[in-house]
Amino acid sequence: MIDLYTWTTPNGRKVSIALEELGLPYKAHPIDISKDEQFAPAFLKISPNNRIPAIVDNDNGMSLFESGAILIYLADKTGKLMPKDGEGRYRTIEWLMWQMGGVGPMLGQVHHFVKYNKGKSAYAEERYSKEAQRLYGVLDRRLEGREFLAGDYSIADIATWPWISRFEWQEIDLAKFPNVKRWYETMMARPGVKRGFEVALT
């Protein structure tokens, strides 16, 4: 059994989607970041950066924070959603890191400036919207002639999808990125993705 500490955000949903896709038993505990629960001393012990998501794997007592590290751990634990070795493993990690270093932080800034604080900084809105357009272009080109980001369906897709699911907040017209649209819809139709997206926090 895995304890997942999470909230209804793209980074949190990456892990609940992976757990659902892998069929691993878990319990999701809410950390309400709008009430600063991420700063509680008990949570700091498992997530020293004060951010969700984090997990505790009760099979071995190990705790982990940072969604990318958690996804690699879960893939290695089960031998699924990432090749064990060879080029396929590094392609998966490559696109996972692209999400962690680019898609997440940049689209997060779009949410901050364009969705929640519109009109406060024209410079930031333009800068991050332009970067969002660029990243959607990269994703669209990568998905040209490919069903998934890095070979078979993998943790790279699972990491990226929850951010793309907020395309409306980012004022992105998915019709301009047909490969992204097709990939987005393919993933949305997966029962595990649906369950992980709507995970009940009790």
Ligand X SMILES: N[C@@H](CCC(=O)N[C@@H](CS)C(=O)NCC(=O)O)C(=O)O
- Interface positions with ligand X (CB under 6 A): 9-11, 33, 38, 50-53, 66-67, 104
> What does the angle CA 88 – CA 160 – CA 127 come to, to the nearest 5 degrees?
125
Q: Which two tokens stand for residue 164?
A: 């793309």
Pairing of strands 26-30, 2-6: parallel
Q: How far is the CB of 182 from ligand X (least distance, A)?
A: 26
N-term to C-term CA, the chain:
16
Minimum distance from CB of 116 to ligand X (Å)? Answer: 12
**Minimum distance, C-beta of residue 66 to ligand X, in the bound complex (Å):** 5
Question: Which residue number, 11 or 129, has a Cβ lying nearer to ligand X?
Answer: 11
When the beta carbons of 10 and 129 are compared against ligand X, the nearer one is 10
Neighbours of 23 (CB within 10 A): 9
Q: Which of 27, 29, 24 is nearest to 40 (CA)?
A: 29
**Is 24 or 33 the residue whose CB approaches ligand X more closely?**
33
In whole angstroms, the minimum distance from the beta carbon of 11 to ligand X comes to 4
The two structure tokens encoding residue 82? 């990432």
Q: What are phi and psi of 62, to 5 degrees?
A: -80, 135
Q: CB-wise, 69 or 179, nearer to ligand X?
A: 69
Token pair, residue 113, equals 């400036």
Output DSSP code: residue 137: H
Minimum Å gap between C-beta 74 and ligand X is 13
Catalogue the long-range contacts made by 37-43 (C-beta closer than 8 Å, 24 or more residues apart): 43/5
Minimum CB distance to ligand X smaller for 49 or for 178: 49
Q: Which is nearer to ligand X, 50 or 165 (CB)?
A: 50
From residue 18, how far is each of 6, 22, 66, 133, 151 by CA, in Å? Answer: 13, 6, 14, 27, 17
Smallest distance, ligand X to C-beta of residue 33, A: 4
